Structure 1
Amino acid sequence: MPHATSLTFRVATPSDEDVNATLKLVRSAYRGETSRTGWTTEADLLADERIDAAGLRAKIEEPQGVVLLAHDDAGALASCCEILRRDDELAYFGMFAVDPLRQAGGIGRQVLAEAEDYARRVFGVKKMEMSVIWTRDELISWYIRRGYTKTDETRPFPYHGLVNGKALRDDLYFSILVKDLSLR
């Protein structure tokens, strides 16, 4: 088994450098041909850009949230995620992206653990939730192996929020997963 990549974490800033690098990473992990090299692609479900610079900058500047960046020892952006404080008890985990060429090497596990720790430490929450497109069985299983529970709750897919593209299916919705962060 390869050794785990050593990561350095920091909160993204609204600088053009952070926005552009994060935008490139998120788009490469979710959409288009590059995403197909990884196992988390949504390219068969959606043909859009996932997020635009204004949307990403809004997430970075959100007072109740952060975009967490993970850089490797060489300083390259390897992963990112959004953590949004919903209320005193609950945070939301989203926009999780790992460089598709580096997936399945332990980076995702490290970033998820750091995000959970951040939510506990900084936001003081007891639970983390996320939304995953219902067709993504392999991804849902990955989160379940990391302590998340698939709830009966679903949420509509935001077809109106697609960025420069379209959905390739009309039956998409989100399954909601939750983890109790007080259990370690």
Structure 2
Amino acid sequence: MIDCTLCGRPVLGLTGHDWTALPWMLAPGTGVLPGPCHVLCLQELGAARSWAAAVEAYHLKRWPRWRAGAGWRLHSSRAARRFHLWRADGGLASFPYAVLAVPPFRIRTPLAEAGTAHAAALRTAMGADRVPLPRMIGRLGLTDRYPFVDGTVTLRGNFLVADHPLALTGSCLGAARQLAAEAI
């Protein structure tokens, strides 16, 4: 399993809940080690503000195309064909333009490749080839790290994949469509 560098518990890699903290993202003296982590762990350690400021500065410089609304800011990259959504509640989601193609808007996140120790641990927690994501999270004892998560986990080919909703307000969705259209 891939463990959080802050709490030592498994990190699933779910959009909006997990991140990989790189050295340049962390303020000196926070005590946060670089590596995969739960965003909630960053918040609990008081490091989320400095981490978010560093990541925000990066996106403002590297991804200068953006729109903002009440409680959110959406960055767009033509080259990567991806969005980064910042929410006022501290959530950060990265997702491809293709998510906008068909509602309801969902993200598919590869969690593990079959045959790895990480996949074996997740499969044990799943107990079947397709299960509700909250059930697997509960069996892993991670409900406090992934509150309000919905969706399913499925074995697809050689990968375990989480399929979960992407909550977009109407104004954010409109901005995403506008940014994607400008990229053509």
Under a length normalisation based on structure 1, what TM-score does the superposition of the two structures give?
0.28
Q: Higher Cα Rg: structure 1 or 2?
A: 2
Larger RCO (CA within 8 A; separation ≥ 6): 1
